[in-house]
């Protein structure tokens, strides 16, 4: 390839990236203009921080479970899952729990118990496929909740 052809290909690549970036930005601006119809759960800043911290814990445990599944490390799966199971659920302050809508408080324990079932499978039969099936089902619970609710600070 000669220098001129190379420069043209670089120019077209840069222009293509710029065009793609502006289209992506326009798409995100359209999305931000959409109305978020999810139910608002009004919380204080510290309550929001606690709830989001719990959800980040779910994500971190999910990542650890996936990595440990690939390594067929059932002990690591159990450790990651138990950390966000019943132990975490019991740590939620009662005052916060009592202020959350019943639909949300119905879904939360399902998530915690989902992680417990993953931990039980890891120490029981230790079947990686079953662990991943439980995790896939659990993700549906998480996605369902995120599609229904959102937190806003008063």
pLDDT per residue over 31-57, tens digit each? 666 899 999 999 999 999 999 999 999
Flag whether pLDDT at 118 surpasses 60: yes
The CA-CA-CA angle for residues 50, 39, 135, to 5°, reads 60
C-alpha–C-alpha distance, residues 19 and 40, integer Å: 36
C-alpha–C-alpha distance, residues 54 and 66, integer Å: 18
Q: Highest mean pLDDT range out of 3-17, 22-36, 135-149?
A: 135-149
> How confident is the model at residue 34, as a pLDDT?
84
Q: pTM for the complete prediction?
A: 0.76
- Average pLDDT for the chain: 88
CATH superfamily of the 38-153 domain:
Cytochrome c/b562 (1.20.120.10)
- Per the CB < 8 A criterion, the answer to whether 140 and 114 are in contact is no
Give the rounded percent of residues in the chain with a pLDDT score beyond 70.
79
Residue with tokens 């203009």: 33
The CA-CA-CA angle for residues 81, 87, 89, to 5°, reads 100
- Per the CB < 8 A criterion, the answer to whether 52 and 152 are in contact is no
Domain boundaries, the chain: 38-153
Give the rounded percent of residues in the chain with a pLDDT score beyond 90.
75
């Amino acid at each position: 390839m000669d220098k001129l052809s190379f420069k043209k290909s670089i120019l077209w690549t840069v222009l293509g990236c710029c065009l793609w970036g502006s289209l992506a930005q326009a798409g995100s601006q359209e999305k931000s203009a959409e109305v978020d119809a999810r139910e608002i759960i009004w919380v204080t800043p510290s309550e929001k921080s606690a709830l989001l911290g719990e959800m980040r814990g779910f994500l971190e445990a999910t990542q650890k479970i996936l990595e440990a599944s690939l390594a067929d490390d059932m002990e690591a799966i159990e450790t990651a899952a138990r950390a966000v199971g019943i132990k975490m659920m019991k740590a939620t302050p009662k005052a916060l729990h009592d202020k959350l809508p019943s639909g949300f408080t119905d879904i939360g324990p399902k998530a915690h118990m989902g992680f417990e079932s993953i931990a039980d499978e890891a120490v029981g039969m230790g079947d990686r496929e079953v662990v991943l099936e439980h995790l896939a089902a659990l993700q549906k619970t998480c996605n369902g909740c995120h599609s229904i609710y959102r937190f806003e600070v008063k």
